[in-house]
A and B are shown apart, each in its own frame.
Chain A
Amino acid sequence: MKLAYYPGCVAQESGRELDLSTRWVCRTLGIELVEFPKFSCCGSGFIDEANEVLNVAINARNLAIAEAAGLDLMTICSTCQGMLSLAQHRMLDSTVRAKVDAALRPLGIDYRGSAKVTHLLRVLVEGIGLDAIRAKVRRPLSGLKVGAFYGCHLLRPSDETGWESGEEPHSFEDLLSALGAEPVQYRGRVLCCGFPIQFVKPETAGRIAGRQILDAKHHGAEAMATPCPLCHTSLDAYQGPAGKLVGERLDMPVFHLPQLVGLALGASPQEMGLARHLVPTEAALARVPTPGR
C-alpha cells in the first residue's frame, strides 16, 4: 500500500512523537509513505474562520499535489482530515470552485478532486485489516482499559466526513480490541477536547478537556488514546490546568493512536517517543504483561 503522507504541522513540531510512531507502524505493516515537502498546513479550522475561500484553496493545492502523483492522501490528525474533506466538499459548489480554480490555474495547479483523503485509523482498520494487525501483535495490551477519544473533525459534520457513524463510531474501539486492550465506552469519546478555544478562553477549554477525561476515568479508563494531535495537546499537554479547573487530579496518560499500535507490535517506549508526554505513561504500561520471550 502506497499513500501520500500528510503529517500536518503539529506532528512535525511539538507533536513529533506522533510522526515518529506513525512511521514506525507504517514501516512495520508495509504501508509505504510518500512525502511531499510542498504540503502546507491545513489551516486547522482557524483560516476557515478568517477566509473560507482561501482555506479551500490552500487545501485544494494540498490535494492537487497528491493527485499529480496519482496517490490518495493519508492524514494523522482529525482536524487535517476534517479540513481536507471540507475542501473537497466545498469544491463541489460551483461558485467556490470557480474562485479557487481562478487562483490555482495561473500557478499551474490543477485540482481535479480525484484523490481520496483518509485517516491512519481507517487505513489500519480497512486497508490493513484487524485480523492482519491482530496476527502481528507481539505484546498484547491485555488488561489495559483504554478510552478512545475520536476528535470532532474525524466524525462531524457526518455528511461531509462520511465514513462511520458520527454518533456511535466503533472503528477505534475495534482496533484497540485487536491490540488486546479493553476499550471503555463513555459519552465523551465523541465530544470536543476544547482545543479550538484554548487560545480564546483557556478556562473554558480546560474545563471541557477535564470533563472528558473525568468521563473516561469514571467509566474505568486507565489510559486514553486519540487519533488527533490537537486533542492530544488538550488532553495531555494541558491536562495539568484542566485538572485544576475541574477540581480533580486527573493522572490520565494519553496515547497517540499509532503509539498504542506500535507498542502492541513490539516497539519500545523510546521508539514511540513516550518521554515527550507531559503525563507519564509508565504506570499504565506497567499493567501490560511483558511478552515471555
Chain B
Amino acid sequence: MPSDTVPVAFDVYRYQPGRDAAPRYQRYTLDLSPHTPVLTGLLRIRDEVDPSLGLRYSCRSAICGSCAMRINSKSRLACETPVGEELQRHGRIVVEPMANQPVVRDLVVDQAPFWQEYRGIEPHLRVDPRRPMPEGKPNPMTPAEVDRFHDTPRCIACAACYSACPAVADDPAFPGPMALAKLYRFVVDPRDAARQDRLVRIQTEGLWLCLRCHLCTEACPKDVRPSERIRDLKEMAIAAQGATEHGSRHAVGFKTNLRDAGVLNEMKLVRQTYGLLGMLPQLPHGLKIWRKKPEVARRPHPIEGREELEGIYRALDSEDGK
C-alpha cells in the first residue's frame, strides 16, 4: 500500500424504496490518497467491499454529468471532488443522492422531473423565417452573437443545480435553474423566431419564483451561472411584455419607488405589486406587523441629492418618465 494513503470513512446513504423501511447511512472505510475522487472511492467500495451499492456514473472525467450527488450536503460531481478536500473542509464524507428527485436506489435518483422541465422550455430552435437555415450549409452567427450565450452550452445536464435549488424543492411551478439557463440560450439566439413567445410564456411559468440565492451558480461544475442567466431573462421578459406578474410588478415597482425618495416606501411597494384590492389578503398579518413596526406604513424621509438619482434614471432607464 502506498505510504501517502490515509483512512477515509464514507457515510453512504442506503435506501431502496419498497424494500427498506427507511433510509440509513452505512459506513465504509478505505485507505486512500487524499487526491482520490469520491467517485473512485465509491467504485472501490462497490467493487471490493459491497456490490449492492447503487450509483450512477460513466466518464469519470467531469464530462458526462452522470455522477452528480450530494457530498457533505453540496450537490456536485463525485468524479471531481477529492476526498482530501472534503475531509479538510468538513472532517467527514457524507454521500447522499441528489435532492428534488425521487430515489431509485441508494445514490441513484429518477431524473424524470429534471428532464421534463428541460423539455418544457422547448430546447430547440424555432427557425426564424427571416433568417432561414441555408440548404445544406450552417447558419452562421457573428462572434458577437455567439458571445451572448457562449457559457450556457457548457452545461452538461448533471442536475446539480436542480438538486441544490430551494425553489424547486418547495414549488413545483419553478422549472429549475438548468431549464431556465437553457431557455436563455434560445432567447438570445439570433436564429430563433420564438423569442417573444418564450419570454411571455415564462413570465407565468415560474420565472419569478427564482430566489436569487445563487445556490445553483455555486453548485454548477461548469460555471454556467444559471442564477445570472435567470436575472437576464427577467429583465428581457419585462422589456418584451411589461410587468404583468407579481414578480415583475415588484421589480418595476421597486425601481420607480426608489426614484421618488431614494429610499424604499414599503407600503407603497406592496400596493405597486398587488394593486389596492390585491393587498386585502395581506391585511390581517400586515396589521400585526404594523402594530410592532408602525414605520411600515410611513412615508420615508427622502435622501439628499435626489436630483442625482433622477439624472441616473434619465440616462439609463428607457422607461423613465413613462
Contact = CB atoms under 8 A, between A and B. Distances in A.
Nearest to A52: B235
Contact of A37 (B73, B217, B304): B304
A102 interface: yes
Interface string B129-152: 000000000000000000000000
B303 A40 contact: yes
Given A40-B262, A48-B231, A49-B234, A196 B89 contact: no
Interface stretch (B9-17, B38-46, B101-109, B207-215): B207-215
B292 to A, nearest CB: 5
Interface string A1-45: 000000001101111100000000000000000000111110111
Of the listed residues B89, B248, B305, B316, the one surrounded by the most CB atoms of chain A closer than 10 A to its CB is B316
A153 B211 CA distance: 11
B212 A152 contact: yes
Nearest to A46: B254
B255 A47 contact: yes
Given A46-B255, A106-B311, A54 B211 contact: no
Contacts of B208: 197, 200
A40 B218 contact: no
A47 B258 contact: yes
B98 interface: no
Interface of A: 9-10, 12-16, 37-41, 43-54, 57-58, 61, 99-100, 102-104, 106-107, 109, 152-153, 156-158, 165-168, 187, 191-192, 194, 196-197, 199-202, 204, 207-208, 211, 237-238, 240-241, 275-278
A240 B293 CA distance: 16
Contacts of B258: 40-41, 43, 47, 58
Nearest to B247: A200
Interface string B299-322: 011011100110111011100000
Given A103-B311, A103-B312, A152-B214, A238 B285 contact: yes
Interface stretch (B119-127, B163-171, B192-200): B163-171
A192 B211 contact: yes
A271 B51 CA distance: 62
A63 to B, nearest CB: 13
B211 A208 contact: yes
A202 B273 CA distance: 13
A43 B316 contact: no
Which 4 A-B pairs have CB atoms at the shortest separation, nearest pair first? A103-B315, A156-B214, A46-B254, A192-B213
Given A51-B316, A197-B211, A107 B264 contact: no
Contacts of A158: 218
A126 to B, nearest CB: 21
Most chain B CB within a 10 A radius of its CB, from A39, A106, A167: A167
A104 B312 contact: yes
B60 interface: no
B295 interface: yes
B182 interface: no
A204 B316 contact: no
B64 interface: no
Contacts of A240: 285, 288
Contact of A204 (B170, B248, B285, B309): B170
6 contacts: A14-B296, A49-B231, A54-B316, A58-B309, A157-B217, A208-B211
Contact of B170 (A37, A41, A152, A208): A208
